[in-house]
Structure 1
Amino acid sequence: MPEDFSQISFIIIASACLVFAMTSFIAFMVVYHRGKQLKNKQHVQQLTLEFQKALADSEREIQEQTFTHVGQELHDNVGQLLSLIKLTLSRPDEEARNESRHLLAQCIKEVREMSQSLNLHWAHALSLNDFLEGELLKVKRATQITTSLEGESRLDLQDVQKKIILFRILQECLHNILKHAQAHHLRVQLEGRHITLHDDGIGFNEEEVKLGAGLANMRHRASLIGARMVWYSESGKGTQVQISFNL
């Protein structure tokens, strides 16, 4: 009888310990899971805030660059066209009047294009190819660098916000090439979900040159839109920048 009582007591105590252990484990898993959910929610909120900040910064920087470009175009291009129109109007012959009409039409076209560029709504309809063609045309007008655009992109750029950030990243890449590369030719390749910029400039030694804040910022912006950005360079052999989208 005492042995049966001891066995029953052991079973009861063991069962109680097992129930306590299981209850503690379940409680721990619930707390752990909720903590993980909270961390994930905070991480998503942080990424959302970073994305919105990157978008706002990109819009502001694009507008600033656009204002600078428009100012230059008004001075160098539209101003020159108006001067030519003034000269042709001073001549009374029919050929001069026809030339004035042609120059005036060209001037109106230039002003209309500049007006459209001041509004970021152009990003809704503009394709990646068209955007790069316009940016490379600016490079050719402003410098002696020759340019080429090859291939077609298969990127789905329906999200206008991500498109604006991508466009700004590409503008920054081109600006860095103009400022630092000392290049003679710039080649942009589009292949699937990859965008690659090659220049034949002086390059840099990747082991000796640390990524500055500007390059790190571009890489971070790329990550916010689901892309990876890498640089390949060698002193005297130019630089290659590749932006690859994961999705």
Structure 2
Amino acid sequence: MGQTEYLLVIILFNIFLVAFIVAAISFVIQYKNKKKESITQLQQQHVLHQKELLATQIEIQTQTMQHIGREIHDNVGQKLTLASLYTQQLAFENEALPINDKITGIGELINDALSELRHLSKSLTDNHIDTNDISILLKEEFARIEILKKYKLNLKVDFESIPLSYQAKSLLLRVVQEFIQNSIKHAACKTISATLVKNDNQLILTLSDDGKGFNTEKMAGKGIGLSNIKKRIALIGGSYYIESKEGDGTKLTIEISI
């Protein structure tokens, strides 16, 4: 091999070596940039997730306080007001037997009011959701609606107890409350039903009413209630499906992994 050819080989080798080094450095830089971008995205997603959790917790607390306010105003306040009216009537009546009957009624109203106040106080001082099973929480919610004596209520739970996180129970309970409120306020229904079943590693909650229903296509992306339900179920890794049409009620099915 001549000197010229030898120099040419060395030059080509150096060219390939430099190209390899440049390619390697470029690859490392790109890898680090992509890794940095990935870490940044994960951090942003984590921050966003934490904000959503915080917003949901605040919303749950706000709704709880609103519920307590309504209970005090509609139930306790009403009964104490009636007790006050009965007491005023006693000042203008002289008949012994009717007065005794009214005194008995006043005592019952006051006792009912005090009992409800104790219940509300207990719900504030202990961790009611955390210490009770979802089946108990749903039974209590339906019992509160049953007091109205305006709707036929059906609740079916096919198990006694099932382990769920506080967040899962809170969000499921809130979805049930919102569905019931929508059914009462907007659906003009007579019957509200709920079924909670366990299927292998899936928990399936079905809510339905026999109200006037709505067009799901027209409501897609417009209903605040539906948007809230979607966000809550997404936070616990679940899925939901809603069926409704005008004049034929509404059915909401929720599935979460357990």
1:200 has 2:210 as partner: yes
Tell me if structure 2 keeps the 8 A contact 1:204–1:234. yes
User: In structure 2, which of residues 37, 40, 48 is the aligned counterpart of residue 38 of structure 1?
Assistant: 40
- Residue segments in structure 1 that go unaligned for 5+ positions in a row: none
- Map of 1:56-135 to 2, 5 A cutoff? 56-77=58-79, 108-119=114-125, 121-135=127-141
Q: Compared with structure 1, are the counterparts of its residues 177 and 97 closer, same or farther at alpha carbon in structure 2 (3 Å cutoff)?
A: closer
1:245 has 2:256 as partner: yes
With 150-159 and 22-31 compared, the bigger mean Cα shift is at 150-159
SS at the partner of 1:207? helix
Q: Compared with structure 1, are the counterparts of its residues 99 and 61 closer, same or farther at alpha carbon in structure 2 (3 Å cutoff)?
A: closer
What is the aligned-residue identity percentage?
22
Q: Compared with structure 1, are the counterparts of its residues 120 and 228 closer, same or farther at alpha carbon in structure 2 (3 Å cutoff)?
A: farther
Matched length: 243
What residue is the counterpart of 2:93 in the other structure? none
TM-score by length of 2: 0.80
What residue is the counterpart of 2:192 in the other structure? 186
- Residue segments in structure 2 that go unaligned for 5+ positions in a row: 91-95
CA shift, 1:105, in A, is 6.4
With 70-79 and 5-14 compared, the bigger mean Cα shift is at 70-79
Query: Partners in 1 of 2:217 and 2:106 — Cα distance?
Result: 58
Q: Which has the higher contact order (CA 8 A, sep 6+)?
A: 1
**CA deviation map 1:200-239 (0-9, x unaligned):** 1111122233341232122112212322233111222211
Tell me if structure 1 keeps the 8 A contact 2:155–2:195. yes
Query: Partners in 2 of 1:237 and 1:98 — Cα distance?
Result: 46
Query: Partners in 2 of 1:10 and 1:125 — Cα distance?
Result: 76
Tell me if structure 2 keeps the 8 A contact 1:150–1:190. yes
Query: Partners in 1 of 2:77 and 2:108 — Cα distance?
Result: 20
TM-score by length of 1: 0.83
Tell me if structure 2 keeps the 8 A contact 1:55–1:165. no
SS at the partner of 2:146? helix
Query: Partners in 1 of 2:123 and 2:35 — Cα distance?
Result: 49
Query: Partners in 2 of 1:84 and 1:189 — Cα distance?
Result: 43
RMSD across aligned C-alpha pairs, in angstroms?
Answer: 3.2
